[in-house]
Amino acid sequence: MNQSEAKKRIEELKHQLNKFDHYYYDKALPLITDYEYDELYNELKSIENTFPLLITEDSPTQRVLENTITGFNKIKHNPKMYSLENTYSDNELSNFLKRIKKDTNKINEFIIEPKIDGVAVSIIYENGVFKKAISRGNGITGDDITNNIKTIEELPLVLEGELTGELIVRGEVFFTKETFKELAETYGFSNARNAASGTLKLLNSREAAKRHLSIRIHTVITGLADTDNEILNKLKQMKLPVIEMTKIVNSAENVIKTKDIWKEKRFELPYETDGIVIKLNKLSMRKKIGYTNKSPKWAFAFKYKPENAITKISSVDFQIGRTGVITPVANLEPVQLSGTIVKRATIHNFDEIKRLDIQINDFVEVEKSGEIIPKIIKVIKEKRNGDNTFKIKKPKICPSCRSELIHYNDEVALRCINVNCPARIEGNISHFVSKTGMNIENVGPALIKQLLNENIISSMSDLYKLEIETILPVERMAEKSAENVINSINASKDVPLHRFIYALGIRNVGEYLANILADTYKSIDKLMDAKYDEMMKINGIGDEVAQSVIMFFKNEKNREEIENLLKNGVNPILQIKRNILEEKKFVITGHLDEFTRDSVKRSIIENGGIVLNTISKETDFLIAGENSGSKIKKAEKMNVKIISEKEYLQMLEK
Ligand code: IVH
């Protein structure tokens, strides 16, 4: 490329990027995907690097975006909030690692974290008490968003420990995938990061509180220790919600290895991520190599290229969630996307149909975003020809129970308000058995649908009455799978109290609040008789949550269902906050001296382990007592570690 070609291309890119920025920031209407934006931005940056004389002040690469709003006080950041250099390219990542090696002249330790797709904030504690929160703004000055940040349940208002002086921490605010799904349905949001950013800009923090923002802290300003991972541990002890997935590696090869493994592993996190952040672990090394004007030289972000595919929408179904919200789901012509065949895609809500102008028979681009099914990100309009596509009509009646659908207040969501709607019952039971609920492994949505359709069950508690013989007649159910179903239902009976509370599907009570309720009330009986006033005194619980919990337990049908669950053998156990066993999976066999079968199970669960009935490759330990039978052989064959009762007790003493 010669100078005049470069000049021409720079002008084109500047023009395009400025237009996209205007739509994104001023109109909240992203015209292209983040990836497409980054590609153009990086192209501009690289041409400017080669022809530095062509850089002008109005170039998007030179501009710090003003992203503050009227209505909030402005506060200066001290020190300023930097951003990160980022890339999608393996080559550039290698160059970064090489540069670090050269600059520090040493083999270095790196800490790797997921790059959360959220909104950056800075939070100030004084003597351990929450004082202020400031949005990123332009990095130099931000908005005082204290009141909105205070609504984040995970963030303590008082830190644990005897703390003096000022502590400035920085992190990302976001909606978890689960919360966002509900918000997208009710409010018509289409993008989790934009929704979080919009929520932080609300002047009415009561409205912000209703939406349940989350946060993870990744940075502290004052050095609390010599290395980043020690700092994160200290923050954790203070009860700050720090990033839960970190890895320390000490070679460039292992950075690359982790990058490749986390490409998929990151989807296990409860929030969306778009890459990884690699930072030098030792603070002394960071100091040595310092900062550029915009970003630290000791850190780097690698972003994963989103995987897309193009296919055709053949029809649209309307799914009814457990809260009655109707969500459109597109049926697609099957297409290969990152190793799986995709047949369906979510369309979050009816506004999304309008926003993207989605029609039946349209060709669309689908993207894997960490949800169970991918989402539609754009319609390829050029592929429409003549009148071969047609509009998606909003349903007027519930496709399951045929009652009339309504819009609550000014919600975007279309709802079925019939609590006896079969589809809603199905949704409730699916939620009940889910991994984060009762975790009943071999019972999925398809089986639940069959059991309901054939009138074998009509409620959650009916699951615990099932026997092999009763489910054998179900289509495609072989003896072995029937046995697995019954085994996993039985194995779910001893359940941590917080998971049981979550599984009940009380409105507004997600995993986090279920934990708080379990810690406070300590048993399901006590929670069932909770009073509104006492609940309002609990840190992290507001009016809306308290009301929905009280309403839920006031309902006779719900009380009866809980009684039935307990009568049928479900045994919610208060999980003491010890995670010594780190979710390791245990199987028990033979006769034990110190424990009964029930008490050893209880002990495993209380210490953060998981009890399974049968040995599989996933099992971590077999606790073998006297007269152990065939399980020992199986464990040996599958390389499962076999331990005695005494060794188990020693594990708890750690
Ligand atoms: S460390 C000097 N760690 O990504 C900034 N940032 O694109 C050091 N981000 O401005 C930041 N996840 O707001 C760090 N695990 C993580 C992160 C993270 C997301 C954000 C951060 C930063 C932006 C850069």
- Cβ burial of 577 (10 Å; 0-12, 13-18, 19+) is exposed
Q: Tell me how many degrees the CA angle 345-346-351 measures, rounded to the nearest 5.
A: 135
Type of residue at 337 = L
Which contiguous run of DSSP H or E holds residue 536? Answer: helix 532-536
Region 599-624: mean pLDDT is: 84
Tell me: pLDDT of 594 over 90: no
The answer to whether the CB of 302 is under 6 A from ligand 1 is no
Q: What is the DSSP string of 443-497?
A: --HHHHHHHHHTTS-SSTGGGGG--HHHHTTSTT--HHHHHHHHHHHHHTSEEEH
The CA distance from 218 to 235, in Å, is: 9
With tokens 């400025």, the residue in question is 18
Nearest partner of 329 among 390, 369, 375, 361, judged by Cα: 375
Mutational test site, ligand 1, from 38, 80, 116, 122, max ligand atoms within 8 Å of CB: 116
Q: In the chain, what percentage of residues exceed pLDDT 90?
A: 61
Type of residue at 650 = Q
Mutational test site, ligand 1, from 277, 294, 303, max ligand atoms within 8 Å of CB: 277
With tokens 């780190």, the residue in question is 582
Q: What's the gap in Å between 115 CA and the centre of ligand 1? A: 6
Closest ligand 1 atom number to CA of residue 114: 15
Check if the beta carbon of residue 168 is closer than 8 Å to that of residue 222: yes
Check if the beta carbon of residue 377 is closer than 8 Å to that of residue 153: no
Region 401-410: mean pLDDT is: 85
For the stretch 373-398, pLDDT in tens is 888 999 999 999 877 899 999 999 99
Edge-to-edge, what's the strand order for the sheet holding 119-126? 129-135, 119-126, 166-174, 214-220
Tell me: pLDDT of 66 over 60: no
Confidence of residue 253 (pLDDT cuts 50, 70, 90): very high
Residues sharing a CB contact under 8 Å with residue 359, sequence separation 6 or more, in sequence order: 313, 379, 384, 389, 390, 391, 392
Tell me: pLDDT of 198 over 70: yes
Q: What is the pLDDT of residue 27?
A: 63
The answer to whether the CB of 445 is under 6 A from ligand 1 is no
Tell me: pLDDT of 65 over 60: no
The CA distance from 494 to 544, in Å, is: 30
Confidence of residue 112 (pLDDT cuts 50, 70, 90): very high
Closest ligand 1 atom number to CA of residue 243: 15
| Three-state DSSP class for residue 591 | strand
Tell me: pLDDT of 64 over 80: no
- CA 599 to chain centroid, in Å, comes to 33
Region 468-484: mean pLDDT is: 91
Tell me: pLDDT of 62 over 80: no
Mutational test site, ligand 1, from 41, 87, 115, max ligand atoms within 8 Å of CB: 115
Q: What is the pLDDT of residue 306?
A: 86
Q: What is the pLDDT of residue 372?
A: 66
Nearest Cα residue to atom 21 of ligand 1: 120
The answer to whether the CB of 604 is under 6 A from ligand 1 is no
Q: What is the pLDDT of residue 577?
A: 59
The answer to whether the CB of 172 is under 6 A from ligand 1 is yes
Region 420-443: mean pLDDT is: 93
Nearest Cα residue to atom 17 of ligand 1: 115
Confidence of residue 282 (pLDDT cuts 50, 70, 90): very high
Q: What's the gap in Å between 246 CA and the centre of ligand 1? A: 14
For the stretch 311-345, pLDDT in tens is 999 999 999 999 899 999 999 999 998 778 899 99
The CA distance from 419 to 67, in Å, is: 44
The answer to whether the CB of 498 is under 6 A from ligand 1 is no
> Which of these is catalytic: 27, 80, 101, 115?
115
The CA distance from 271 to 176, in Å, is: 5
Region 16-33: mean pLDDT is: 77
- Cβ burial of 240 (10 Å; 0-12, 13-18, 19+) is buried
Mutational test site, ligand 1, from 88, 140, 218, 295, max ligand atoms within 8 Å of CB: 218
Confidence of residue 55 (pLDDT cuts 50, 70, 90): confident
The answer to whether the CB of 135 is under 6 A from ligand 1 is no
Q: What's the gap in Å between 291 CA and the centre of ligand 1? A: 14
Q: Tell me how many degrees the CA angle 574-576-582 measures, rounded to the nearest 5.
A: 115
β-bridge mates for residue 309, sequence order? 366
Distances from the Cα of 336 to the Cαs of 339, 343, 369, 510, in angstroms? 6, 9, 15, 33
CA max distance for the chain: 85
Give all domains of the chain, ordered by start, each with its CATH number: 3-62 (1.10.287.610), 74-303 (3.30.470.30), 307-391 (2.40.50.140), 425-573 (1.10.150.20), 585-653 (3.40.50.10190)
Tell me: pLDDT of 29 over 80: no
β-bridge mates for residue 115, sequence order? 275
Four-residue CA torsion sign, 312, 356, 337, 16 = positive
- The packing angle between helices 34-50 and 3-21, to 10°, is 150
Q: What's the gap in Å between 296 CA and the centre of ligand 1? A: 11
The CA distance from 64 to 381, in Å, is: 34
The answer to whether the CB of 116 is under 6 A from ligand 1 is yes
The answer to whether the CB of 375 is under 6 A from ligand 1 is no
Q: What's the gap in Å between 83 CA and the centre of ligand 1? A: 7
Known catalytic residue: 115?
A: yes
The answer to whether the CB of 299 is under 6 A from ligand 1 is yes
Region 247-269: mean pLDDT is: 93
- CA 13 to chain centroid, in Å, comes to 34
Type of residue at 63 = R
pTM: 0.74
